[in-house]
Structure 1
Amino acid sequence: MGRHFILPIDDKYKIKVNYFIDSEANHIFNTSDFFNIHQTERAFYFQLCKKNSDLVLGTIHFTEIASNLFKSPAKGTFGGFVIQENIEFNIYEQFIITVDNYLWYIGAKRIEVIMQPMCHNPSLFSLTYNILIRLGYAVYNHELNYNLVVDDICFSAKINHGNRKRLNKCLREDFIAKEIDYSAYDKAYSIILENRIRRGFLFSMKYEQILQMVSIFPQKMKLFGVFNKDVIVCSSICVVINPLILYVYAWGDIDNMQNYSPITLLANYIYEYAQKKAFQLIDLGTSTLLGEPNIGLMQFKKNLGCQESLKLSFSKDSKIMITENQ
């Protein structure tokens, strides 16, 4: 087949492959721009459409990251399926089945899907779980994700007493939180990297990759920081997932800030920014690694007013296909 082609579903629906049609329903990690950053020789951008229409009803992309191993996404926090609201269940199921069948047809030995956290769209999460489990997929990784609901309640009313004291202390000491301009991106990145190293954690993205994301998604990458006079003492990299969800990809402060905890002031600023921009959810990411809890990180996010949500990764191996076809 050529670079782009069509997979039929029935007399009303079809899947356009590698047509890269714009869709308002997509989250950032399901956009064609993100797909194109990491695509390999065998990579497929599937979009569910009605026949004789370019209106996209659903999207997922898969990339071959190793021999006959297809993953959604190739790299990134999550990929998975995105659909328009109120799509009929049987149509969504046929979309998944058709994509699944095509990947096995071209020789897949394993398929992996990292789903967005349940809190992003509980209905989509539940429907997808039901369909994938019945198709023979299994959960190969489960994480606890933490999110903060954005509403009319002020941030200080959501956090615990200790964090309120830290927030007030930063304000009394004239610490200032604000959006960081491009000239300070390198310093902001260095603070986060050094913070991760100091705490014994990995930081997967290099500075050049951050700049690449900023270049491709200038309106969706947001860097914020806390300043003590003219010195950045704390910074964050945030990603606009969609018009309703703001994701704190990473944050950190400089050493010896325990008495101030400027992260709390930064969290307050991000929350107020989200209120102004009409976001409904701030995603603070996972606090587990391969399912194992980081108790300190979990409590830190709970003290900021967060609540837990499942984030699942699914997989299916070719041996299951063989068993099904016997």
Structure 2
Amino acid sequence: MNKHFILSIDDKYEIKVNYFIESEVNHIFNTFDFFNIHKTERAFYFQLCKKNSQIVLGTIHFTEIASDVFKSPAKGTFGGFVIQENIDFNIYEQFIKNVDDYLWCIGARRIEVLMQPMCHNPSLFSVTYNIMIRLGYTVENHEINYNLVVDDICFPAKINHGNRKRLNKCLREGLIAKEIDYSVYEQAYSVILENRRRRGFMFSMNYEQILQMVNIFPEQIKLFGVFNQETIVCSSICVVISPLILYVYAWGDIDNMQNHSPITLLANYIYEYAQKKAFQLLDLGTSTILGEPNIGLMQFKKNLGCQESLKLSFSKNSKTMITNNQ
């Protein structure tokens, strides 16, 4: 059972645990709905609040993924700490420290935190890094993430010459990019799945899991595709991380489309969609696996106008805590 209780910080702030208060200070992977999908018997939803109030200033959740091993998030692209921008550094540090102390007190032998990419919030990333390192956490993994700033500049002006030629070829030959109707979601998923298999990569979610996300987050899961008449030749699954960030979770095209590169047309459509919806950042995900670079994928995203950003995961073992306390 996930009982609710309060951890006190001082006379002004407290941490409400498993109260599940609705908050605008969040991203999709730190919401209660996402936490609820993967929670186990030992799972905790921590919210920094003003004392005796329902005003949420910060959030993180942890789930036991193995015996006495707690992770944020249990599954998902990232979790980590989310905090209101005007919170004092010392209050934020106390929030992290108190959560950390509680998990050790209930017998944790390992804690893992998968942070959002630095580009999502450089200030939060920087202060969190400082606090976590001083609390004895180490960088478990480091990835290079790619993002595209969404502004008034049109997409063709951001990409390289080769991609502009591919984009124009797709348009000349009548390929059309659009948001995909629910009736063809399974076809769109199959295009991405087969693309991953051809390139020798795993796909972390099956179709039933995608549908579960669609049903729980109907306004935040978006599927887009490129059509050659009635045939889907390229598709993507995107996630609205927050009102400012749109994330391309996965995309791919059908076989034998190298001469057209419909991904470029799809990227153009997604970027224009992000402009219309007032997003500020288009996140195209990582191009490394366990830190090892995929050079071709990195160059592909650079040619789309992307910038690099760090994405880190932290971990700490119980022996680290013992050493630090000696």
Give the TM-score, by structure 1 length.
0.99
Measured in 2, the distance between the counterparts of 1:288 and 1:323 equals: 32
Distance in 2, matches of 1:176 and 1:78, equals: 32
Tell me the distance in 2 between the aligned counterparts of 1:231 and 1:4: 51
Question: What is the CA distance between 1:25 and its match in structure 2?
Answer: 1.2
The list of structure 1 runs, each at least 4 consecutive aligned residues, that deviate by more than 6 angstroms after superposition, is: none
Q: Which amino acid aligns with 1:108?
A: A
1:112–1:227: structure 2 CA closer, same or farther, 3 Å change rule?
same
Aligned counterpart, 1:235: 235
* Residue in structure 2 matched with residue 299 of structure 1 by the alignment: 299
Listed one character per residue, the Cα deviations across residues 228-249 of structure 1 (whole Å, up to 9, x for unaligned) are: 0011000000000000000000
- In structure 2, distance between residues paired with 1:198 and 1:88: 49
Q: How many angstroms apart in 2 are the aligned matches of 1:231 and 1:317?
A: 51
Query: 1:168, CA displacement in angstroms?
Result: 0.1
CA apart distance, 1:324: 2.1
Partners of 1:325 and 1:217 lie apart in 2 by 43
Partner of residue 24, structure 2: 24
Residue aligning to 1:177:
177
Secondary structure at the aligned position of 2:171 is classed as: helix
Amino acid corresponding to residue 236 of structure 1 in structure 2: S
1:68 maps to 68
What's the counterpart of residue 124 of structure 1?
124
Determine the C-alpha separation between the residues in 1 that align with 2:78 and 2:263.
Answer: 25
Q: State yes or no: 1:114 paired with 2:131.
A: no
Map of 1:153 onto structure 2: 153
Tell me, in whole angstroms, the C-alpha distance in 2 between the residues paired with 1:118 and 1:2. 31
Matches of 1:149 and 1:325, distance apart in 2: 44
- 1:214 partner SS: helix
Structure 2 CA distance for aligned equivalents of residues 250 and 2 of structure 1: 33
User: Are the structure 2 counterparts of residues 209 and 2 from structure 1 closer, same or farther at C-alpha, using a change threshold of 3 Å?
Assistant: closer
Aligned residues of 2:58 and 2:82 also touching (Cα < 8 A)? yes
Q: Distance in 2 between matches of 1:324 and 1:284?
A: 38
Distance apart, 1:320 and its partner CA = 1.0
Specify whether residues 227 and 249 from structure 1 end up closer, same or farther in structure 2 by C-alpha distance, changes over 3 A only.
Answer: same
Amino acid at match of 2:118: M
Aligned residue in 2 for 1:275: 275
Q: What code does the residue aligned with 2:96 have?
A: I
Residue 114 of structure 2 corresponds to residue 92 of structure 1? no
Distance in 1 (alpha carbons) for counterparts of 2:247 and 2:38: 20
- Per the TM alignment, residue 2 of structure 1 is displaced from its structure 2 partner at its CA by 6.6
8 Å CA contact 2:2–2:43 kept in 1: the answer is: no
Displacement after TM superposition at 1:218 (Å):
0.1
Q: CA RMSD in A?
A: 0.8
Structure 2's unaligned 5+ residue stretches are none
Q: What residue number does 1:194 align with?
A: 194
> Could you tell me which residue of structure 1 aligns to residue 207 of structure 2?
207
Identity of aligned residues (%): 85
